[in-house]
Structure 1
Amino acid sequence: MTHHSPLCGETTPPLSPASLGHLSGVRRRVLSTAQLRDHGVSPARTSAQCRPGGPWQQLLPGVFVLHPGPPTSEERLHAALLYAGRPPVERAGKIPCQPRKDTAQDGSADRSEYGSTMVTGLAALALYRFSAAPALIAVDPIDVLVPRTRRLRSTGCARIVRAQALPVAQQIEGVPVAPVERALADAVAVLADPEVVRALLTEAVRGGHCEPAVVVGELIRARLLARPQVAQAVDMLLAEGRAIAEGRLYAMVRHHGLPDPLWNVELRLPGGPGLGGVDVYWPEEAVALELDTRPPGGEPQSEEEVLRSAYARKREHLERLGITVVHLTPKKLREAPAQQATVVRTALMAAADRAPAAYVTVLPR
């Protein structure tokens, strides 16, 4: 009796004595050595099935496709994850293999199947349906993110990308996928075309996948900002991201009935030095609002750290003069504008209970 794949219609030899009935789709067609052993298939029989002209093929070390035809993009993706997520060689064979389900009750992949591995780079962006990324079938090799300590090498359709600290994976149709910002950084690391880099970064922001500062922070950690094609794209990304955030800020003030403020002004002590610019200012309440578009984190002694210190010094100086400074991030404005409007309204109402602020001159910026 033969088994027929419900997705592609390939015919595969039966696996006895264990049944593959609990597996579905690609997980029935792509199995690791350990999974085959779980189902009663010895390494000798696996090798025999993969001989020239045989019904199976070895796609990656320890990973097999149970049909002779070209692997689909879904099969290559699953194979790359199985290869990178397999137990370390030195531990394999010391722990008896136990039959297990490869699909959790919620339909997602069982973490034991892939270990801590996740898809990243262009393959991940294809799964996020980025229009600027190639279709998954055209992505080769597939980038898989693993812990830095894993002893694996890139081979075949799997390219190993190591991480000092793994991010929390997102689940897309049961596939563990790196967050958009990490996938972008890993994709940009191997791309030389500035137009493609710019298109991917721009789509991440315009598509609402993540904020510009988060993307830039990940690029900083990956040490990619020194590359000309990345630096140019980031300048455009930050400018566009700030324009989008300013539009949301304007809408928040209008839609939630906040008092009319002064927009984009410079504060200065009368006859004295400038205090810096702010995005919004309510002079009667002495409340200033700034969009905090700084990258999260950064390298010590980097330009971002210097910028961070400058932000802190300006805020401290203004607050010593009795001016309340409210910082809002673009992410908070996008996800919870009503909550941010409440924060601003609370600061405005609290002005009546504070001592009068120092007089400052307000100039257009």
Structure 2
Amino acid sequence: MPRRARLDPVAIASVGLFGVAAVADLTSLGMSSSTISRRVQAGHARRVLRGVVKEGPDEPTDDQRAAAALLYAGPGAVLSGGEALRRYGLTNPSPAGRLLVLVDAQRQRTSSAFVEIERTERLPAPVDVGGLPLAPLERAVICTVRRLDRRDAVRAVLAEVVQKGRTTVARLRVELAAGSQRGTALPRQVLDELEAGVRSVAEAWARDLHRDSDLPPVLWNPKLYTTDGTYLAQADAYFPDVGLAWEIDSLAHHLTLEDWDATLRRRARMQAAGLVVAHTRPRRLRQEKADVVAELWGQYRLAAGRPCPDIRVVPVS
């Protein structure tokens, strides 16, 4: 047998990814399947998926699991879903879940172990990220949220990608409309929220609370300026008729002293311009709804009793 036919890093590297290779590719080098099986049984290699092996007996890394999933799926496969989001630098909402791999509709391949196969007539052109072919960002996002059944989980995924400026609501709507409509009702409702200006799960809770209350109309995430063009802040919510800003003080945005200092400076700018600023912790939006509404009415009456400041308001686009 040729020396290169041994199941070693050199052989695997010539046909695989991240130290993982398809058995069919290794046999094409002249290696017998029995040799591969013996080395797996001896602990010199490990079977990751049916027809896919890796060098060494240790647990596969995240890169190796992803590579194995793609090799198992076959040529042209692309990684999508939460694992693709993680590789785009976003949050995977189900880190312990299966890896979603998209393949052409004609490919006869079924899900197995930690791999979920989705056959599609719209197999996207891959985007190379870290040496692996990923679905385009919008496709990966929609693939992810179509599989989530909790509104807040869908909100978290969609709000993060929009808030970070990685894509737009309009582009996500196009992708949502183009594919399978299974599981799209909830994402469509959350995109409506984002289009109205909501940019986080906590703000979505605030929107729900406001909708179910008798509070006056509010603008979500408008940018506030003085009449001379000085930027004040982008308020979480704003009651324009009285000059009341409503801030949702999420702990995630106040983890450091610098974060807290920035919040205090932001509050001081708004108050110096004549605005009344109300603050609410996210958990109270779910657990103390009546109290929050009562407090907002109190702040609203306070603002209404003062001259409304001359503020230029730019609604979220």
After TM superposition, the score normalised by the length of structure 2 is: 0.56
Q: Which has the larger radius of gyration?
A: 1
The separation in 2 between residues aligned to 1:184 and 1:50, in whole angstroms, is: 37
How far apart are 1:19 and its partner, in Å? Answer: 7.8
Amino acid at match of 2:181: R
Q: Answer yes or no: is 1:59 the counterpart of 2:16.
A: no
What SS does structure 2 have at the residue aligned with 1:161? Answer: strand
> Where does residue 297 of structure 2 map in the other structure?
none
Contact 1:180/1:204 (<8 A) preserved: no
> Where does residue 156 of structure 2 map in the other structure?
199
How far apart are 1:245 and its partner, in Å? Answer: 12
Contact 1:55/1:67 (<8 A) preserved: yes
Contact 2:18/2:63 (<8 A) preserved: no
The separation in 1 between residues aligned to 2:183 and 2:144, in whole angstroms, is: 14
Unaligned runs of 5+ in 1: 1-12, 86-114, 248-253, 255-329, 334-365
The separation in 2 between residues aligned to 1:132 and 1:59, in whole angstroms, is: 22
Contact 2:154/2:187 (<8 A) preserved: yes
Alignment: residue pair count: 204
Q: Answer yes or no: is 1:70 the counterpart of 2:59.
A: yes
- Give me the CA root mean square deviation: 3.4
Q: Answer yes or no: is 1:23 the counterpart of 2:30.
A: no
Aligned residue runs from structure 1 range 31-180, under 5 A: 31-51=21-41, 53-85=42-74, 115-131=75-91, 133=93, 138-180=95-137
- Residues 135-171 of structure 1: CA deviation (Å, up to 9, x unaligned): xxx3431101111111000001211012212222111
Question: Residues 149 and 246 of structure 1: is their aligned pair in 2 closer, same or farther, counting only changes over 3 Å?
Answer: farther
> Where does residue 309 of structure 1 map in the other structure?
none
Question: Residues 59 and 207 of structure 1: is their aligned pair in 2 closer, same or farther, counting only changes over 3 Å?
Answer: same
Q: Answer yes or no: is 1:219 the counterpart of 2:209.
A: no
How far apart are 1:83 and its partner, in Å? Answer: 0.6
Contact 1:132/1:199 (<8 A) preserved: no
The separation in 2 between residues aligned to 1:65 and 1:198, in whole angstroms, is: 37
Amino acid at match of 1:63: V
Contact 2:78/2:101 (<8 A) preserved: yes
Contact 1:123/1:139 (<8 A) preserved: no
Contact 2:198/2:220 (<8 A) preserved: yes
Contact 1:33/1:63 (<8 A) preserved: yes
Question: Residues 61 and 225 of structure 1: is their aligned pair in 2 closer, same or farther, counting only changes over 3 Å?
Answer: closer
Percentage of identical aligned residues = 29
Contact 2:69/2:101 (<8 A) preserved: yes
The separation in 1 between residues aligned to 2:37 and 2:182, in whole angstroms, is: 43
Amino acid at match of 2:137: V
Question: Residues 65 and 18 of structure 1: is their aligned pair in 2 closer, same or farther, counting only changes over 3 Å?
Answer: closer
Question: Residues 165 and 205 of structure 1: is their aligned pair in 2 closer, same or farther, counting only changes over 3 Å?
Answer: same
How far apart are 1:226 and its partner, in Å? Answer: 5.4
The separation in 1 between residues aligned to 2:105 and 2:98, in whole angstroms, is: 19
Unaligned runs of 5+ in 2: 200-218, 224-228, 230-315
> Where does residue 191 of structure 2 map in the other structure?
234
Aligned residue runs from structure 1 range 159-308, under 5 A: 159-221=116-178, 222-224=180-182, 227=185, 229-240=186-197
Contact 1:50/1:58 (<8 A) preserved: yes
What SS does structure 2 have at the residue aligned with 1:27? Answer: coil
What SS does structure 1 have at the residue aligned with 2:118? Answer: strand
